[in-house]
Structure 1
Amino acid sequence: MTDRPWLASYPQGVPADIDPSQYPSLVALMDEAFSKYSDRVAYSFMGKDVTYAQTDSLSNAFAAYLQGLGLAKGDRVAIMMPNVPQYPVTVAAILRAGFVVVNVNPLYTPRELEHQLKDSGAKAIVIIENFAATLQSCIANTPVKHVVLCAMGDQLGLLKGALVNYVVRNVKKMVPTFELPGAVRFNDAVAQGTRGTLRKTDIRPDDIALLQYTGGTTGVSKGAVLLHRNIIANVLQSEAWNNPVMNKIPAGQQPTSVCALPLYHIFAFTVNMMLSMRTGGKTILIPNPRDLPAVLKELSKHTFHSFPAVNTLFNGLANHPDFNTVNWKNLKVSLGGGMAVQGAVAKLWLEKTGCAVCEGYGLSETSPSASCNPVTSTEFTGTIGVPIPGTSMKLLDDDGHEVTTLGQPGEIAIKGPQVMAGYWQRP
């Protein structure tokens, strides 16, 4: 116990450690979810529900299509999209096919995109047409050979899908003209894959699941190499951490999380998408969190329990005139991450929702969660909490010695099953 004094602060029922070896890969975790929760809603997007069974069959077909391109196990496939249903389908497809996910920020400039595609060695990219012009301007200088194009309305059915695509392209003018000869449309790729067969790939815990590029605040943007077991560990750690309050969801209610953070960001990738897979939860996909009226309008239609967000979003929503059109009473955990949460924002959020912002700390390199405040907290602490199950932390001075005096600055060193294998091609 002495080497982990923080265990005394754990809420009742939270284990000291988790066992990431219960799944050999993220594919095994997803396969379990697809069979166990097949009839449940996995994603809700613009009024359309996608079940686990549908996600299963779509990703299976798309995985078969990707394998048919002649890519080899371990090849990298980039994803450049906002939160649309094609995102989770594509992630599942890439992993099931034995490839590596490369998450790309859709707001990248051509220069940033070119760097990431070259650095990762991505041979294929699945991109929403809104950003295709960015790709067009740099694709010649990258190893990308295959492009799959998505549109906002792809998964909304014929009529609604056509209408949404028309509005996005012609009314809101959100799709700049582009030319990408040989690009295949997402729905066509899935249809093609339906006629093929997905070859089972042997995926091990130490195989790479994704390259998660860091912000590049310290020089050039680097790819954190996250293994299947890293993400599995963080999913199980997050589940164990949230259980004291998520266990209080009334029987018959499906655990539901709001996904307003972008899925290309590791916070949403693990704590929204993958954690929901594990728990059979429903994820409400918010494509543009900056459009606060649209966010609140969408949330007013749902019962939800978990809301991971960043300070700016908590602040924007809590101060919005439409805030009370949403029923916040079922909210069990408001997770703050990605940046420091401000005390005034947390105070207002608690006043308005009755659910304290529970701040955590992590980084792309830790898949991302490393520490968090107990979810049973009834007030905002302004701290990063305590290390989550299976995680150790210590503070080191400039010479690498442990800092022992309270108030003395040091660098945080983190050890745990969620810590990355290293930086891509940068020993």
Structure 2
Amino acid sequence: ATLLHRNILANVLQNDAWLQPALKKPPHVDQLFIVCALPLYHIFALTACYLLAVRAGGVNLLIPNPRDMAGFIKELSKYQVNSFPAVNTLYNGLLNTPGFDKLDFSKLKTSFGGGMATQRPVAEKWLAVTGCPLSEGYGLSETSPTLTCNPADADKFSGSIGIPVPSTWLSIRDDDGNELPLGEAGEICAKGPQVMAGYWNRPDETANVMTADGYFRTGDIGVMSPDGYTKIVDRKKDMILVSGFNVYPNEIEEVIASHPGVLECAVIGVQDARSGEAVKAFIVKKDQGLTPEDVIKFCATQLTAYKVPKQIEFRTALPKTNVGKILRRELRDEKKAAAA
């Protein structure tokens, strides 16, 4: 994705404008202090941590190895942080590490979830422990990255990706590029000064993701409510087709994650002779006594029958990017290779 200087600078200013209401909340902070537990080569860290701190004359606390949770917590104990951008898996990992609940978060003004879907059980526990609501946002490398976010001074988790940042337009469209009515699911398309110039030396690919009226096709399925808040349904390519019904992994993962015996989970579609595809869940246990039957029964109380996982596989860890985003693609590729 080719990002011009003006794309990046526009997004820094958009993020800065978003941050201001949170900074006005008491107590007063003389210098913005941001936790940066993301690799700086990733667009989330580059814009929302590093360059935002430069713009604000702030400080970045660099955490080279956030997977070392005990070491991470030891570093956090030395400072009073104001802004905490991270992915859902990182928030969840910290919350499940001894000593995190003893830290001083009296000056934490905003926690910004991005990079992957933020799960309600994690957001609610984060608020209970830190006293700071989790504001989920949304964006891509192609958009520098921020397109939307919940207000920085929100007092609770909304379950949506919020509203567009300044100078940004969002449009929910069907496969033919037609705008859909509010409340209907379709592809999220966006326009604004932070949208890339195009894919490097790939005019064909650039043309595939741009609409005739200049909107960027994100590849994500979303629904916009009458008040302008958008909820991500899932990635188009992650959708599972069970007996002709669309099933989205995000919904199932949020239910499974709310089980007290589950630490992390991921859901994919696998081939099934009867239904075409079936739902399979990969789970890292918190409670070692957890059984597949426990998970299936729990899901059956909260999900329509065709959405309930038919297969459960327990693992000690799930594949992730260096940012901490769970890679469903790797799990799908494993299953395809095994089948072949």
Under a length normalisation based on structure 1, what TM-score does the superposition of the two structures give?
0.47
User: Structure 2 regions of 5+ residues with no counterpart?
Assistant: 204-340
Distance 2:155 2:182 in 1: 29
More strand by share: 2
Aligned counterpart for 1:401 among listed residues 166, 178, 191: 178
Q: Quick one: structure 1 residues 250 and 280, their matched pair in 2 at CA, closer, same or farther if it must change by over 3 Å?
A: farther
2:201 maps to 1:425: yes
SS of the residue corresponding to residue 152 of structure 2 reads coil
Distance 2:26 2:144 in 1: 26
Q: Give CA-to-partner distance per residue, 1:67-93, whole Å, 9 cap, x none.
A: xxxxxxxxxxxxxxxxxxxxxxxxxxx
1:362 shift after superposition = 0.3
Does the Cα contact within 8 Å between 1:229 and 1:417 map onto a contact in 2?
yes
Q: Give CA-to-partner distance per residue, 1:256-291, whole Å, 9 cap, x none.
A: 000001111101100100000000000000000100
More helix by share: 1
2:30 maps to 1:259: no
Distance 2:194 2:182 in 1: 28
| Residue of structure 1 equivalent to 2:151 | 374
1:325 shift after superposition = 3.7
2:191 maps to 1:415: yes
Q: Give CA-to-partner distance per residue, 1:40-97, whole Å, 9 cap, x none.
A: xxxxxxxxxxxxxxxxxxxxxxxxxxxxxxxxxxxxxxxxxxxxxxxxxxxxxxxxxx
Number of positions where the alignment pairs a residue of Structure 1 with one of Structure 2: 203
| Residue of structure 2 equivalent to 1:306 | 83
Q: Quick one: structure 1 residues 395 and 283, their matched pair in 2 at CA, closer, same or farther if it must change by over 3 Å?
A: same
Distance 1:325 1:283 in 2: 22
Q: Give CA-to-partner distance per residue, 1:329-381, whole Å, 9 cap, x none.
A: 11000000000011100010000001010000000000000000011211111
User: Structure 1 regions of 5+ residues with no counterpart?
Assistant: 1-223
Distance 1:350 1:239 in 2: 23
Aligned counterpart for 2:69 among listed residues 272, 281, 292: 292
| Residue of structure 2 equivalent to 1:348 | 125
SS of the residue corresponding to residue 360 of structure 1 reads strand
The amino acid that maps onto 1:248 is: K
The amino acid that maps onto 2:53 is: S
Identity %: 57
Aligned counterpart for 1:243 among listed residues 2, 14, 20: 20
The amino acid that maps onto 2:143 is: T
Q: Rg: which structure is higher?
A: 1
Distance 1:401 1:364 in 2: 25
The amino acid that maps onto 1:278 is: R
Distance 2:150 2:99 in 1: 29
Q: Give CA-to-partner distance per residue, 1:140-191, whole Å, 9 cap, x none.
A: xxxxxxxxxxxxxxxxxxxxxxxxxxxxxxxxxxxxxxxxxxxxxxxxxxxx
Does the Cα contact within 8 Å between 1:296 and 1:325 map onto a contact in 2?
no
The amino acid that maps onto 1:253 is: D
Does the Cα contact within 8 Å between 2:34 and 2:59 map onto a contact in 1?
yes
What is the RMSD of the two structures over their aligned residues, measured on CA atoms? 1.2
| Residue of structure 1 equivalent to 2:139 | 362
Under a length normalisation based on structure 2, what TM-score does the superposition of the two structures give?
0.58
Q: Quick one: structure 1 residues 247 and 337, their matched pair in 2 at CA, closer, same or farther if it must change by over 3 Å?
A: same
| Residue of structure 2 equivalent to 1:181 | none
